Structure 1
Amino acid sequence: MCFFNKFIYHLFLSLSLTLCSLKTYSQYSYKELLELDKKISITETYADSILSAFEKKDALFAKNAHGFSYFFYRERQNFDLGIKYGLVEKSVLENVGLKNSDYSNILYNIGKYNFLKKEYNIALDFYKKSINSDASKFKSAQSYCQVGYIYFLQGDYHKSLNYYLKGLPLIEKHGTIKSLLAHSINFALVCNKLNSKKSIARGLYYLNNIDSIIKTNSNTSFNKSHLYNLQNGFGNLYTSNHFLNSKKANFHYNKGLNLAKKLNDHYLTSIIYSNLGELYLKMDNDSSLYYFSKSLSFNLDGESIANETHKNISLFYLKKNVLEKSLNHIEKSLNLCFLTKRNSDIRILTSRELLNTKDKRVAVSSLALKSTILFKLYLKTNNLSFLKKLIKNTSLLNDFITLLINYNTTEIDTKYLWREEVYDSFNLSTLSAYLLNDKELMFRFMEVSKTFLLLQEISKKRQLLNLPFQLTKRDNDLRRTILSYEERLDNSENFDLRDSIFSLKTIYQNFKDSIQKIYPEYTSPDQKIEPITLETLKKSLDKNDVIISFSMSNMEIGETKSNLIGLAITKNKTIPLKAPDSEKTIESLSTYRKLLSTPLKTKEELNEFKLTASFLYNQLFPTSEIKNLIQQKNVLIVPDVTLENTPLEALISEKDSFRYLIQDCNISYAYSLTFSELNKDLIRKTSNDISFYSPIKFGNTTISSLPFTEKESNNIEGIISGDFLEFNNASKRNFINYSPNSKIIHLATHANASGNPQIQFYDSILPLHELYTYKNNADLVVLSACETNLGEIKKGEGVLSLARGFFHSGANSVVSSLWKINDASTSEIMTNFYKNLKDNQPKTLALNNAKRSYLKNHSLSEKSPYYWASFILIGDTNPVFEDYYFELFLLSMAILVILLVVFKFYNKKWVTNF
């Protein structure tokens, strides 16, 4: 541009600014800015000059700032300037006290612009401020859904679900059809990722709802890309295993494909081809590869659809046993997920880089799939390097999941979802370590596959103990209320109750955020819970201790489809073991548990039990070395999911003589050895030996009475002194008030494991969720009730039982039951158990001796394991009542020596003086 032209340009700009300044006290609408932009090309400098010409920063000033904010976002795609002028508008509206619909709108817009910049945490903050301003119902509704979408991107799927369930009804009431369409489609994505029967049904409900609205508003024009997403959403949900309908899925995908082609949108077309490929893959139709190839032909490697397409191609080749190609495509998927270059080492990524992964569910499933491929390659080549690569891959997967749980997930159901995703990979790595004969690695993976979330919760509780009492009480009260409401919601779709839960969770999250700012050292999300090492464990063992930890991998090796392996650990030995016939073992475990749950009355039942229990004994303790190792020892069993709720003491060690394993050794159980170590270190102070609760009869007369529990109570009261509460004194309130101060808590009553586990007191029930906010200091909890160790099984965590609930609330060990027990035999066993405890026997010996005594004193069908094997000891095995006689003797001797020294000193001094 020549000097003259530049002069003319600047002169024109100066005149324009002068003329515009005359319009200072009017509002620049968006349309006016568009027209003005055609003449002078609006810049940041121009916008600043216009705003600086205002004599006062009032509502009109705010409207002009709003105009520039929206202009720079919409016309320039300059999100930073959109945010800059949005913040100006926000500040002015706050100063003049105008927190109206304009205020809600600009908060939403600032959130939106930050979202587009992928500054998700900042966006969350502004969306939530827009919700809290509550000046625009529509903006609040949109903000709820946008928050839900961010949580979806971060992998907190259940939290995302909750925000959408709050926002969508408001969109339907206060918003537009187009907005409802867009957010319903995104909600369906969340439901698809959750992939449960309930979530898929919810997704279909909202898609059908919006589809019906669209059909009744035929005169309204809709964005074709939204209509495409609707069809794609239907296809995805009908491809789910829970509602798999290939005909409907194919119909909707093809409708979406036609729309994508009309739009000439390669990205949307690529997605549909990929989804069609996944549908055909589920149908084992080779056409899937054609559709996957069509999807990749658009060269959209920067988009997340390419990640999933490569993963599905990998799965296709895995099914065909073309393993090299399968590995190649899973590597491509992972490189795209983690934004790394081909063949680069993902393990060097920082935590932030891992958390910024595009599609976390695809990344996790791709890592898990890679482990499977590597194991298959080992089987094909017998090359041990593939097993080593598998173990490194699973270590990365474990780190990634731990980050997601610690930083991106607050809902417990999402945490369970992530733990379930990695469970099979952990077991596969345990099997790989077994094949590598690496005992330390075997042990490590068996430990990380168990009860991580329980460990995390107890670790958090220990952190919170450092906070002021009023804060820990507030935390506990909020959690208790939320859990109570959630239990009620499980049985209904009460929208008012859902709203209450949502509000409570919002309050609780704000409370936790404020605590974290004030006390970051006690509330850090970065909880590094390292599993105990094999070396450390072995140092802590006594010469009579044997630990056997099990792991089941569902990986086919030759003709074997499953592999039950384990480690037998003593102070001086570590012996790997493998069940000779794992598949038959799994079948026999089911038969075994069924036979245990009723008395063995017929010869046929007795023979079937003998054969089954003997077979299992030889499978679980497969070598003579291990059989000899456990003789007359204290054997601690660490089961995996396959062996949950299985009392091994009723196995038959000598088939011909019908000898039970309990007659050869003492058996107890542990969730994990890492948990046991952490749990026993908790400080437990009590002043009462026992709190015993026995309603005998119940306020609700429809509940059957338990007459033998009165005898049980009286017998134990003659052994140990403490609080024995019967009939109406055995109330829930008394339990809450008195039990925290007791060394032993004993509940002799009804319990129920179906649905939501609960314990029956005289007046009301104690559901499992209340144990999560109740605190006890018990060295031992005895649940002398039915099915107290049963509950929902979560892969990677174990059984969500009443027993686990008491550990969560502070117990050091728990005696619980595995089936509906006989109250007469229970009374006898429990009486002897307490006699043994009072004699300072370790808990495991006390319980096992009580069972042996029962076997000795009964015959015929009364010796059936049904009567005595239901109760198992989980956790610490040390004596409840320590024998202090030896310590007192040592103390007395020390005092005597001191007195003799003193006497000799003074005697010598007296003689000298004399």
Structure 2
Amino acid sequence: MKTFLHLFDNTIISYIYSYNKKRKNIFFLFLFFISIVSGFTQEVSATFDSIYKLPEKNIDKLSLYNNLFNTYQKNNDFKQLGLETYELAKKVYKQSIDTAIYYNQKAIDATLKTNPIDSCLLKSCYYNVGFYNKRKKDYIKAIAGYKKSLTLKDCKNLSKGARKHLPKTYFALASHFFQNGDYFTAAKNYQKSLDLTPPNEIGQMINSHTRIGRSYKNMRDLTSGKKALYHFLKADSLYKTLSDQNIENNFIFYNNIAGQYAQNGQHLNSSNESTQNALKYYAKSIELAKKITNPVLLEEFYYNLGITYQTIDLKKAEQYFLKSIDAAHQLENNFKKYTFLGLGITASLNKKHKQAQEYFLKSLVYFLQKENITENTPISDKQLYTVQDKERLLELFRSQMENWDRMLDESQSTEVAKLMIQKAKLSDRLITIMLKEDLSNSSKLLIRNLASEIYILALEACYSINDIKNAFYFAEKNKAILLIQNIKKNSTSIDNTPIIKPTYFSNPNLISILPFEEINLVENEVILHYVMAERLLGKVPDAYGIYISKSIKKIFKIADTDGLITNIKTLRKKLDTPFVTEEDQQNYYNLSNKVLNTIIPTEIQKDLPNKKLTVLGDHILNFIPFEPLIIDKKLNKYLIEICEVRYDYSLTFKEENKNIIRKPSKEFLGIAPIYFDTLTSLKNSEKEILLGKKYYTGETQTDKNTTKQNFINNATNYKILHLATHANASDSIQPWIAFRDSKLSLQELDTIKNNAELVILSACNTSIGKINQGEGVMSLARGFFKSGAKAVIPSLWKTNDKASFYIIATFYKYLHEGQTSSAALRSAKIDYLKTHTDAEASPYYWAPLIIIGDSTPILSQKKYNSLYILPLVIIAVIIFFIIRYRRKMIEA
């Protein structure tokens, strides 16, 4: 029967199809008949085979195949459908990979509907998911396919094939990320490739170790450098086990190892161990270089030597860079952009500033692949987009600015300062383009490191010519870059969520810096805006401040930042404990006054009394509150005693956050878990949240009701959220807030929406977090802002129960009476200082709670009710007396 059908199909179908393609209806009816009969065979049908043997390409016969497949679909013949769509995918992949993927997926869907499932066919389909997508260079889907294939019982020896292809696919995926400058993700995937490589494939293991090393090398920080060196040394040791070695490969290994030792040493000198190791491997490379004729290898080798000698011998550095260019004079590659950049940096360090700029421009020619570039040549965004290595281009711009900065140190020049500002604006455009690209957060952090340095250099230029307008822009943009995180938000609409969501924390495309001209301050309002950043090589941070009031606008530079950092660290330790002796107290007064005088110039201090001060901190300045700093050393008067202090991230964020429309349905939610599964009990926490309920309508949750999920479900409904619980923003893995059953991480907090006018985090160090270079202080307070809060009161260190209870109770009283949240917190602290003396008056007790964000009054429904009830009572009393009076008159 099967043979007959096969012969019959071949003859009749060919005849009908070739005789008249227009007679499709007759053909499809015949096809339907054949498919029903051949369906009984449960193999690839004679009909399918006959279509395949028609002279046209399979891609041109899809309508015939689809008609057959539709017949199977109508008959619920999923086994035949799965088998033949799988076969068709195999037959068309060379003509159209997307078509193959489509039919292979139909095969999977059909096979999953069969009972029993043909596991071998299913395994084959998943294997081909890997094969087809790898061919398409969609490596992530390819990896998923191979992995899925390996979960099924082996057949056709497919498991061996999947295990062979998986490491190669990871390797290809890693190479894609490497080429796009995402070295962190590249290293991760190269490592996965290495982990899956069989131990007998030494060559592939060597290649993976080398690529992992190169990925870590490009991250250019000490921790990554150590990892890079490990993998380079591992590759070298594996290579030595091979019998077939050659000079060029040995040369490459020695060059990589030497260069990494040099990079890890950072500031190399003749007695430095890293320097000695670097020079030892370079000496081996130099011996081999005499036998090497490959100009590409020699170009990179001499470049590495130039980089190494930049910190120990500038003359030799220049010689090796020139050798690199000479070795590659006949090459058409683009590596010279790095060599000329190295020559420029070397000339700048050697105080040959004009020559340095000439080298930098030559480097720029290779980056942009455009001749005749001068400093005034306009560069479009389109040109910046097309640059392959944008990160190194950004380094070139920074190096140019550093060269001009060195010129400013030697002699002040308005022209040079303007060149720096112009270059900073070009860098700013490039930074925005880079942050839009699909890189890992870690790679973006590296970009933000460079960006932060550039904005600092720009501030130096602005400071030198007193350009307050551009200084403000660069300070604000620096903060914006520090705060950007690409957290994907749930787009599902939720009732009572903010109508305008904060974008400042989420998307670089939407950053629009507040223009300086639009800063509107009232007479008693002043702003202190700080910017601080560390250089990549670990140099002492530069620091600048901008003071803005109605009448004063001033940029100032903070002197002795090294000493400032030391003093702030010491001061912070003193704040963490109460005074024990008078000597402790006096030492604190002296040190805090010294810190205040360092960060606030004397002429600005004179303008602060009776003002509302907003502090926009940065870097280590975020680790101390300003209120307990001593402003009057003779009277030992705290800053809080002369002015009201609040904090914010930046003016741009302040304006954006203020414009969010919040519509909470309820007033107050107090949460006090009291007991925890793994943490110590907080038996007094319930008393604290009852203070809020005393003045505001709402509810409190304690003990078993205080689960993480309950908070997530209810957070969006309340005007005031008060959390009295455990927390830790300094957790090395992930900052968290504790609930009865589990911890809420900072990452989870980012995804929760709230409508809160005020969030009170009465817990341990909820504002302090890890300082990531170029990213600022990570904190739980910031997490609440990202989810919609208008203002947050966090703690900077572990609070004292008794003092915290007093301050929060008084705070709620003043807030209920109509004071702004900032004024109410200050009033509460002032009251505490008036009613406590000696050790109890230590800043440790009263200073940890600060307010960040917009400070506005929060009127309660209870107060509204009392305002309405009192007149009604008075009216009722008057009516009572009138009625009583009339009765007496009538009786009389």
Give the TM-score, by structure 1 length: 0.73
Aligned partner of 1:587 in structure 2 is 566
Amino acid at match of 1:859: T
Question: Residue type matched to 1:679 in 2?
Answer: N
For residue 712 of structure 1, report the CA deviation from its aligned partner.
Answer: 1.9
Contact 1:712 1:827 (8 Å CA) reproduced: yes
- Cα distance change of structure 1 residues 94 and 871 upon mapping to structure 2, 3 Å threshold: closer
Q: State the distance in 1 between where 2:839 and 2:126 align.
A: 78
For 1:871-882, list aligned pairs within 5 A: 871-881=849-859
Q: Which residue in the other structure is 2:600 paired with? A: 621
**Among residues 186, 191, 211, which one is paired with 2:236 in the alignment?**
211
Q: Provide closer, same or farther for how the CA distance between residues 95 and 632 of structure 1 changes in structure 2, counting only shifts above 3 A.
A: closer
Quick check: 1:669–1:874 contact (8 Å CA) kept in 2?
A: yes
Q: Give me the whole-angstrom Cα distance separating, in 2, the residues matched to 1:598 and 1:58.
A: 80
Shift of 1:820: 1.9
The aligned amino acid for 1:616 is V
1:625-672 deviation per Cα after TM superposition (whole angstroms, max 9, x unaligned) = x22322111110111214122211111121111111101110001111
Asked whether the 8 Å contact 1:455–1:675 carries over to 2, the reply is: no
Q: What is the aligned residue count? A: 733
The structure 1 residue matched to 2:206, chosen from 181, 194, 200, is 181
SS in 1 for 2:660: coil
Q: Is the 8 A contact 1:786 1:817 kept in 2?
A: yes
Rounded Cα–Cα distance in structure 1 between residues aligned with 2:756 and 2:571: 33
Q: Which residue of 2 aligns with 1:405?
A: 435
**Contact 1:273/1:294 (CA < 8 Å) preserved in 2?**
yes
Task: Report the 3-state secondary structure (helix = DSSP H, G, I; strand = E; otherwise coil) of the residue aligned with 1:450.
Answer: helix
C-alpha distance in structure 1 between counterparts of 2:182 and 2:103, whole Å: 38
- Residues 54-110 of structure 1: CA deviation (Å, up to 9, x unaligned): 946479xxxxxxxxxxxxxxxxxxxxxxxxx9953747966996979899667656x
- Trace 1:57-136 onto structure 2 (pairs within 5 A): 57=57, 88=95, 90=97, 108=134, 124-125=137-138, 127-128=139-140, 130-131=142-143, 134=146, 136=161
Alpha-carbon distance in 2 for matches of 1:227, 1:356: 35
Partners of 1:706 and 1:106 lie apart in 2 by 58
> In the alignment, which of 133, 155, 174 is matched to residue 148 of structure 1?
174
Q: In the alignment, does 2:815 pair up with 1:834?
A: no
2:335 equivalent to 1:305 = yes
Counterpart of 1:317?
347
State whether structure 2 residue 687 is matched by structure 1 residue 711.
yes
Which is further off, 729-738 or 845-854?
Answer: 729-738
Return the alpha-carbon distance in structure 2 between the equivalents of residues 268 and 146 of structure 1: 23
- Verify: 1:577 aligned to 2:561, yes or no: no
2:794/2:851 contact within 8 Å kept: yes
1:848 correspondence with 2:826: yes
- 1:654 aligns to 2:632 (yes or no): yes
SS in structure 2 at match of 1:631: coil
C-alpha RMSD of the superposition: 3.7
Structure 2 stretches lacking a partner, 5+ long: 1-52, 60-91, 105-123, 147-157, 267-272, 498-502, 872-892
Whole-angstrom CA distance in 2 between matches of 1:296 and 1:369 = 20
Structure 2 counterpart of 1:181, one-letter code: I
- CA distance change for structure 1 residues 597 and 284 in 2, over 3 Å: closer, same or farther? farther
Question: Structure 1 residues 580, 147: closer, same or farther in 2, change over 3 A?
Answer: closer
Distance 2:507 2:407 in 1: 38
1:93 to 1:705, Cα distance in 2 relative to 1, 3 A: closer
Distance 1:434 1:205, change over 3 A: closer
Pairing 1:746–2:775 present: no
TM-fit CA distance, 1:834: 1.2
Distance (Å, rounded) in 2 between the aligned partners of 1:54 and 1:346: 66
- Name which of 454, 459, 463 aligns with 1:430: 459
Measured after TM superposition, the shift of residue 203 of structure 1 is 3.2
The aligned residue for residue 408 of structure 2 is: 378
Q: Are residues 260 and 444 of structure 1, via their aligned partners in 2, closer, same or farther at CA, if it must alter by over 3 Å?
A: same
Is 1:349 equivalent to 2:379 in the alignment? yes
Q: Quick one: which of 662, 673, 688 aligns to 1:684? A: 662
Change (3 A) 1:354 1:145: farther
Report if the CA contact (8 A) 1:708-1:824 is conserved: no
Question: What amino acid sits opposite 1:567 in the alignment?
Answer: I
1:635 to 606, 613, 617: 613
One of 230, 236, 241 as aligned partner of 2:259: 236
Alignment-derived partner of residue 566 in structure 1: 545
Equivalent residue, structure 2, for 1:272: 301
2:232/2:257 contact within 8 Å kept: yes
Matched, 1:246 2:291: no
Task: For 1:429 and 1:210, locate their aligned partners in 2 and report how far apart those are by CA, in whole Å.
Answer: 43
Distance 1:525 1:857 in 2: 47
Shift of 1:776: 1.9
Structure 1 pair 769–787 and aligned structure 2 pair: CA distance change class (3 A)? same
| 2:317 equivalent among 288, 292, 306 | 288
Q: Secondary structure, in 3 states, of the residue corresponding to 2:523?
A: coil
Which runs of 5 or more structure 1 residues have no equivalent in the other structure?
1-52, 60-84, 112-123, 473-520, 893-914
Give the match for residue 193 of structure 1: 218
Question: For residues 864 and 369 of structure 1, what CA distance do their matches in structure 2 show?
Answer: 47
CA distance in 2, matches of 1:152, 1:442: 36
Contact 1:793 1:800 in 2 (8 A): yes
* Higher radius of gyration, 1 or 2: 2
Residue identity matched to 1:537? I
In structure 1, what is the equivalent of residue 526 of structure 2?
Answer: 546
Distance 1:651 1:347, change over 3 A: farther
Note if 1:612 corresponds to 2:591. Answer: yes
Question: Do the aligned residues in 1 keep the contact of 2:171 with 2:190 (CA within 8 Å)?
Answer: yes
Cα separation, 2, equivalents of 1:774 and 1:102: 40
Distance 1:354-1:772 versus aligned 2 partners, 3 A rule: same
Shift of 1:201: 4.2
Equivalent position to 1:696, from 674, 677, 685: 674
Q: CA deviation at 1:678?
A: 1.6
1:767 partner amino acid:
S
Does the residue aligned with 1:297 lie in a helix, a strand or coil? Answer: helix
**Preserved contact between residue 100 and residue 132 of structure 2 (Cα < 8 Å):** no
Using the TM superposition, give the Cα deviation of residue 880 of structure 1 relative to its aligned residue in structure 2, in angstroms: 2.5
Aligned AA (1:854): Y
In the superposition, the TM-score normalised over structure 2's length comes to 0.75
Q: d(CA) in 1 for partners of 2:660 and 2:438?
A: 28
Q: Counterpart amino acid of 2:253? A: L
Query: What is the identity percentage for the equivalent residue pairs of Structure 1 and Structure 2?
Result: 31
For 2:421, the equivalent position in structure 1 comes to 391
By how many angstroms is 1:714 displaced? 3.2
Going from structure 1 to structure 2, the CA distance change for 1:92 and 1:358 (only over 3 Å counts) comes to: closer
Q: 1:226 to 1:771 in 2, by over 3 A?
A: farther
Aligned partners of 1:179 and 1:89: how far apart in 2? 31
1:356 CA displacement: 3.2
